[in-house]
């Protein structure tokens, strides 16, 4: 059976990716939906054709979740045609001014969980399988007041580029999507809404368009996908401008 595994599937971009997946990956027979909130997962599963979705209510900040996923894969031995590492979090606040647990949660979810889930899943992939990692425009340059978040997303992008090269002999591709802010609960959960002048002035991305574009980029085997011309230009500027200068303009 060909399956897709989607982390952070209960809301926002992850939920939208699941909704659009059949249009881009019609060969996928079942979706394994991973998130903490079981009720929201069940609601999403109910909107899909009967029997197509399986809900895995796992907290990816808990290392036991990796064991659960690994054991399920080993028991059922599906072919993972698409892995979407969407689970992540970002919190506004300077180092030393935010709870340590808040800062380390970003590392646990954005880095550790993404790495672990990928490592567990790759052995169950075949030639033609795809990995889609959700990064951010914050990966392009360090972002004061979201320093840990931007550093974690730099890891996601760098990890994806290296992974794409590693997996090329196996016929597996890896894609990082780097969206700008979107109107999702991420803004409220991260205490960003109403507390950042930068976020109030940036042009926002539409999650429906980002989800569709990201899936198509993964299908095409692109390594980096940046929605919106404005942010493609920002990525270019960040590449050619000294980082010590750029960081003066990226403060959130």
pLDDT tens across 182-231, in order?
Answer: 877 676 676 776 666 666 777 788 999 999 999 999 999 999 999 989 89
pLDDT digits (tens, 9 = 90+) for 67-113: 999 999 999 999 999 999 999 999 999 999 999 999 999 999 999 99
**Mean pLDDT in residue range 51-71:** 96
Q: What pLDDT does 249 receive?
A: 80
Q: What is the mean pLDDT of residues 21-25?
A: 97
Mean pLDDT of all residues belonging to the chain? 93
Q: Which pLDDT tens digit goes with each residue over 139-152?
A: 999 999 999 999 99
Neighbours of 49 (CB within 10 A): 7
Model pTM score: 0.94
Task: Say how far apart CA 77 and CA 36 lie, in whole Å.
Answer: 23
For 134, other C-beta atoms within 10 Å of its C-beta total 27
The CB-side HSE value for 56 (13 A sphere, CA atoms) comes to 24
pLDDT of amino acid 196: 63
- pLDDT given for residue 219 in this prediction: 98
Tokens read off for 53: 């979705």
* Structure-token pair, residue 11: 């809301």
In this prediction, residue 65 carries a pLDDT of 98
């Amino acid at each position: 059976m060909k399956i897709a595994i989607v982390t952070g599937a209960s809301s926002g971009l992850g939920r939208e990716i699941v909704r659009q997946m059949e249009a881009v990956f019609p060969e996928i027979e079942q979706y394994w939906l991973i998130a903490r909130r079981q009720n929201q997962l069940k609601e999403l599963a109910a909107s899909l054709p009967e029997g197509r979705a399986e809900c895995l209510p796992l907290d990816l900040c808990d290392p036991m979740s990796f064991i659960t996923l690994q054991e399920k894969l080993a028991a059922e031995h599906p072919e993972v045609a698409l892995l979407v590492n969407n689970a992540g979090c970002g919190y506004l606040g300077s180092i030393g001014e935010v709870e340590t647990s808040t800062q380390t949660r970003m590392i646990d979810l954005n880095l550790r969980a993404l790495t672990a889930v990928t490592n567990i899943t790759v052995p169950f992939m075949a030639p033609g399988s795809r990995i889609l990692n959700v990064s951010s425009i914050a990966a392009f340059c360090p972002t004061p007041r979201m320093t840990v978040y931007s550093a974690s997303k730099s890891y996601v992008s760098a990890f994806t580029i290296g992974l794409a090269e590693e997996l090329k002999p196996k016929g597996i591709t890896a894609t990082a999507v780097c969206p700008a802010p979107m109107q999702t609960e991420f803004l409220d959960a991260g205490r960003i809404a109403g507390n950042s002048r930068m976020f109030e002035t940036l042009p926002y991305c539409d999650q429906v368009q980002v989800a569709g574009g990201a899936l198509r980029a993964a299908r095409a085997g692109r390594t980096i996908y940046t929605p919106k011309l404005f942010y493609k230009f920002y990525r270019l500027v960040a590449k050619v401008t000294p980082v010590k200068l750029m960081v003066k303009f990226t403060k959130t």
